[in-house]
Amino acid sequence: MNYINNRSYDLVVFDWDGTLLDSTGAIVKAIQAASRDIGVTPPSDEKARYVIGMGLREALMHAVPELPASHYDDLVNAYRKHYLSGDHELTLFEGVEGLLQALQAEHRWIAVATGKSRLGLDRALGHSGLGRYFDTTRTADETRSKPHPQMLEEIMNQFAVDPARTLMIGDTTHDLQMAQNAGAHGLGITHGAHPVAALKDCQPVGLVDSISDLANWMKISG
């Protein structure tokens, strides 16, 4: 795989869950527990992991497709109860803050594009203390769910950055497909929700296994 020069990127956009925050396992458990709460068979780990990165309602409709449409509000509320009961205990992947500091020092635009809600992302930024590093953020309830390109297009337009100078970093095929749909470059990170083979199928400009590998890929120390 040919990696292109990282210095061509003026805008670096991160997914949140499974990319910066080690939350994949907690999300899977919350989806499964919420399903049991409302009396439906919980999805497998694989099926629950697949929907991570989508907007919450869309994700749950994919994970539990047999549920009558009128019951999804109950499932959403049950999921939030389980996830929010422990989200304050989740941790960032090692090296995240150092990477963001390095990117900020290089005067790049830094953003988040996430399937979380605005309330959920603001809560996560508050817990993590990372809000000061991001020039802007977009959430699924403000735009369209991944892999639709709207949230990434809005970020690029906000800073007048060409798609060719934009890097979208994420742990799911939804992230990489959104980058493709927006004409931007996608970089996969393998420590999150989706398997390596699926990420490779999206033809990213690169794949890294960790935040430290990402820092090395971008030629940034720490």
Residue 179 belongs to a domain with what CATH number? 3.40.50.1000
Q: Are residues 140 and 178 in the same domain?
A: yes
pLDDT at 8: 78
Question: Is residue 147 in a domain?
Answer: yes
- Each of the 222 residues of the chain gets a pLDDT tens digit; together they read 334 444 579 999 999 999 999 999 999 999 999 999 999 999 999 999 999 999 999 999 999 999 999 999 999 999 999 999 999 999 999 999 999 999 999 999 999 999 999 999 999 999 999 999 999 999 999 999 999 999 999 999 999 999 999 999 999 999 999 999 999 999 999 999 999 999 999 999 999 999 999 999 987 532
One DSSP character per residue, 103-161 reads HHHTT-EEEEEESS-HHHHHHHHHHHT-GGG-SEEEETTTS--TTSSHHHHHHHHHHT-
User: How far is 186 from 204, CA to CA, in rounded Å?
Assistant: 5
Q: Which residues are catalytic?
A: 15, 17
For 108, the domain range is 6-22+90-217
Tokens of 175: 């992230």
**Domains in the chain, number:** 2
Q: Is 183 helix (H, G, I), strand (E, B) or coil?
A: coil
Total Cβ atoms within 10 A of residue 75: 22
Q: Are residues 37 and 124 in the same domain?
A: no
- In the numeric block, the tokens 């594009």 are attached to 113
Question: Is residue 71 in a domain?
Answer: yes
